[in-house]
């Protein structure tokens, strides 16, 4: 029976987080598993509801990669149907949000689709245009320095790279990112499952304070603010401010090196002015914790740096092996991996995005998730993955 004749799985787009994440994960899994989906009540609780330009661009990118038939994907639409075809790799794909819509959210749609091939093929590439650093999505530096290193290490995705060619700040966008990945191929190569239950101490903290179209003092101020706040918590300094509520136990942060670089983008490599800072902490057990902040006109750069540091410190204080943003982004990979994966999250529990990602993975795959809350308050996510491999292409000579 052809895919177009198969009944579409109905996905309620208003469940839990009820936003764009349901769209992204649904069409990614639909494409990989050759399961048509109809998504209803899209962004039902948002004002205004329905698709925005960025969501439509992501759906169109997935449809392009998966040779899918996409209907209903117009701005403002609250219902779409996605009937996947064949993912043809290797290839080069391009998507442009036109606005300052997040490039990293486009990447979340496309990345899983480029990871699997039935036969050995060279790398596939993406060129994505839009916003690189915004407040309502992971900054591209977070994706580069936290998310990608994590999935490379724990799922054994070896050949993947991300290059920031141009920065795109709100509201003009205009950023450009190039991404490439060499897929797993055949029945024997699969995403590896992993166990990450021990955090260990903080090995080091690094970061990048990026800015464009602004004085050098902006970058220097963000670095100074972040460095000072981390020193108050004991990182990179033996002094601490005991009056501050965001403190890390002293055994966690003695002699932890801190290295934050200020990076000014050439005017030719950005459209408009903007700034931001992303920090990340490497943990002995193999986990990574990130924190960030985006610059605004009314916020001194030192305060932007302090906000990023406080975000990182809060994530470390939570006590998990991953931060709240990494939590939900790895769920789809846990579902597709071969074997049982498990990861300890912090005492803040699972985010709504994570719960949504788990719910959706269980709707469309045979992966089985368990969530355990320990007496300490930490939460462990366990998943028996499906061991996904790309299906062999149809034999076009059969029946001739």
pLDDT of 93 above 60? yes
Cβ atoms of 59 and 95 within 8 Å: the answer is no
Section 282-298 average pLDDT: 96
Catalytic residue among 145, 210, 353, 378: 353
Token digits of residue 134: 């915004």
Report d(CA 52, CA 73) in Å as an integer: 10
What is the predicted pLDDT for the residue at 62? 98
Greatest alpha-carbon span in the chain: 79
145 is catalytic: no
The model's confidence at residue 238, banded by pLDDT at 50, 70 and 90, is: very low
pLDDT at 263 exceeding the cut of 50: yes
Confidence of residue 244 (pLDDT cuts 50, 70, 90): very low
Helices 216-232, 301-318: inter-axial angle, 10-degree rounding = 40
- Mean of all residue pLDDT scores within the chain: 92
Q: What is the pLDDT of residue 350?
A: 96
Model pTM score: 0.93
- For residue 248, pLDDT over 80 is answered with no
pLDDT band at 255 (very low <50, low <70, confident <90, very high): confident
Rounded mean pLDDT, 90-105: 93
Distances (CA, A) of 261 to 13, 177, 209, 278, 316: 40, 20, 6, 10, 21
Is the per-residue pLDDT at 239 higher than 50? no
pLDDT for residue 243: 35
pLDDT at 251 over 90: no
Which pLDDT belongs to residue 80?
Answer: 97
- Place 2 in a pLDDT band, splitting at 50, 70 and 90: low
Position 241 confidence tier, pLDDT thresholds 50, 70, 90: very low
> Is residue 252 over pLDDT 90?
no
Instruction: Give the pLDDT confidence score for residue 209 in this predicted structure.
Output: 98
Q: CA–CA separation, 293 vs 296, rounded Å?
A: 10
HEC string of 65-109 equals HCCCEEECCCCCCCCEEEECCCCCCCCEEEEECCCCCEHHHHHHH
Q: Average pLDDT of 174-186?
A: 96
| pLDDT of 116 higher than 70 | yes
| Mean pLDDT on 212-239 | 90
Average pLDDT over residues 63-81: 96
- The model's confidence at residue 8, banded by pLDDT at 50, 70 and 90, is very high
Q: Which of 40-54, 235-249, 350-364, 365-379 has the lowest mean pLDDT?
A: 235-249
Separation between Cα atoms, residue 161 and residue 166, nearest integer Å? 16
Triad 55, 384, 90: Cα angle to 5°: 50
Mean pLDDT of all residues in 308-324: 97
Q: Residue 229 pLDDT more than 70?
A: yes
Whole-angstrom distance, CA of residue 355 vs CA of residue 353: 6
Name the percent of the chain lying above pLDDT 90. Answer: 83
Residue 241: other Cβ atoms inside 10 A:
14
pLDDT at 224: 98
CA–CA separation, 179 and 299 (whole Å):
32
pLDDT level of residue 136 (50, 70, 90 thresholds) = confident
């Amino acid at each position: 029976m052809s895919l177009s004749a198969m009944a579409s799985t109905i996905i309620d787009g208003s469940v839990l987080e009820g936003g764009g994440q349901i769209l992204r994960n649904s069409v990614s899994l639909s494409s990989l598993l050759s399961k048509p989906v109809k998504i209803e009540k899209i962004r039902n609780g948002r004002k205004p509801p329905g698709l925005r330009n960025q969501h439509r661009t992501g759906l169109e990118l997935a449809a392009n990669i998966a040779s899918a038939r996409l209907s209903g994907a117009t701005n403002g639409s609250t219902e779409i149907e996605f009937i996947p075809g064949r993912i043809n790799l290797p290839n080069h794909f391009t998507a442009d949000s036109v606005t300052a819509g997040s490039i990293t959210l486009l990447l979340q749609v496309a990345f899983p689709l480029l990871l699997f091939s039935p036969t050995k093929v060279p790398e596939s590439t993406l060129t994505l245009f839009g916003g690189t650093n915004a407040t309502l999505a992971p900054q591209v530096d977070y994706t580069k320095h936290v998310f990608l290193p994590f999935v490379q290490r724990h799922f054994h995705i070896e050949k993947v790279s991300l290059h920031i060619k141009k920065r795109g700040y709100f509201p003009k966008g205009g950023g450009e990112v190039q991404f490439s990945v060499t897929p797993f191929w055949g029945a024997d190569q699969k995403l590896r499952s992993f166990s990450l239950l021990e955090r260990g101490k903080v090995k080091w903290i690094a970061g990048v304070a990026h800015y464009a179209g602004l004085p050098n003092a902006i970058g220097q101020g963000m670095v100074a603010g972040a460095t000072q706040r981390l020193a108050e918590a004991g990182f990179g300094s033996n002094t601490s401010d005991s009056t501050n509520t965001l403190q890390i136990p002293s055994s966690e942060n003695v002699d932890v090196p801190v290295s934050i670089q200020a990076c000014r983008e050439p005017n030719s490599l950005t459209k408009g002015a903007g700034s931001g800072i992303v920090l990340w902490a490497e943990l002995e057990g193999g986990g990574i914790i990130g924190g960030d902040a985006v610059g605004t006109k009314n916020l001194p750069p030192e305060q932007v740096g302090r906000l990023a540091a406080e975000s990182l410190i809060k994530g470390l204080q939570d006590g998990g092996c991953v931060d709240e943003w990494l939590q939900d982004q790895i769920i789809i990979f846990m579902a597709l991996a071969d074997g049982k994966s498990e990861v300890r999250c912090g005492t803040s529990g699972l985010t709504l995005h994570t719960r949504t990602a788990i719910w959706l993975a269980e709707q469309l795959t045979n992966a089985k998730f368990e969530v355990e809350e320990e007496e300490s308050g930490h939460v462990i996510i366990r998943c028996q993955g499906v061991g996904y491999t790309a299906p062999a292409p149809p034999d076009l000579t059969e029946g001739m």
